């Protein structure tokens, strides 16, 4: 979709968190009311007829638009968090990052086999954290799982989509 207003308001932070990385800072989109509305409206248009019953936001930037979208869709919102952040019993999934292992968790009662789930996060780069979230949600045997990102990095060598099976439906609002 590459909405010009969103692209114009996206901040690029050079050399963060390490030298050579061009960090895409979505906080500039969240603080701008027009951009926030545009993102939620565009996502709503994509998913309004999919029967979404739960939106799962990936910590932490996935919480912002994910929760707003859940409200608009009339769906519940579920947090997928780092270890030790959720207070009740959880399921876990560990995955490899560029610089080591990481783990995400979700409450054991968060999703049922009757749910249609939308997994949401801010950025698709290597796909590691979302693939872990996808594997975690699949343990609940939901009816269907969709995946969405605000931004997909198309830098050669990343190809985050490749970690998912071809039949997994993935959408992004911006490709950069």
Domains of the chain: 50-175 (3.40.50.2020)
Residue 120 predicted with pLDDT over 80: yes
Active-site hit among 4, 89, 98, 156: 98
Beta pairing partners, 55: 77, 118
Residue 99 predicted with pLDDT over 80: no
**Does residue 56 or residue 20 have the better pLDDT?**
56
Q: Catalytic residue at 61?
A: yes
Q: Is 3 exposed, middle or buried (0-12, 13-18, 19+ CB in 10 A)?
A: middle
Active-site hit among 42, 61, 93, 152: 61
Q: Is the peptide bond before 144 cis (omega within 30 degrees of 0)?
A: no
Residue 70 dihedral angles phi and psi, to the nearest 5° = -55, -45
Q: How does pLDDT run across 136-171, given as a tens digit for each residue?
A: 999 999 999 999 999 999 987 788 999 999 999 999
In this prediction the pTM is 0.95
Q: Is 104 helix (H, G, I), strand (E, B) or coil?
A: strand
Tokens of 109: 């009662």
């Amino acid at each position: 979709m590459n909405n010009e207003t969103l692209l114009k308001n996206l901040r690029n932070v050079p050399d963060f968190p390490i030298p050579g990385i061009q960090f895409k800072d979505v906080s500039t989109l969240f603080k701008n009311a027009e951009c926030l509305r545009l993102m939620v409206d565009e996502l709503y248009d994509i998913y309004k007829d999919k029967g979404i019953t739960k939106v799962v936001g990936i910590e932490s930037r996935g919480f912002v638009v994910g929760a707003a979208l859940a409200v608009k869709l009339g769906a519940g919102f579920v947090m997928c968090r780092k270890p030790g952040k959720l207070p009740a019993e959880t399921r876990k999934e560990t995955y490899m990052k560029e610089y080591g292992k990481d783990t995400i968790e979700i409450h054991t009662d968060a999703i049922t086999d009757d749910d249609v789930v939308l997994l949401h996060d801010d950025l698709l780069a290597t796909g590691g954290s979302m693939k872990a979230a996808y594997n975690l949600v699949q343990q609940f045997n939901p009816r269907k799982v969709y995946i969405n990102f605000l931004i997909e990095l198309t830098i050669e060598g990343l190809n985050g989509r490749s970690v998912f099976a071809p039949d997994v439906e993935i959408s992004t609002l911006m490709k950069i």
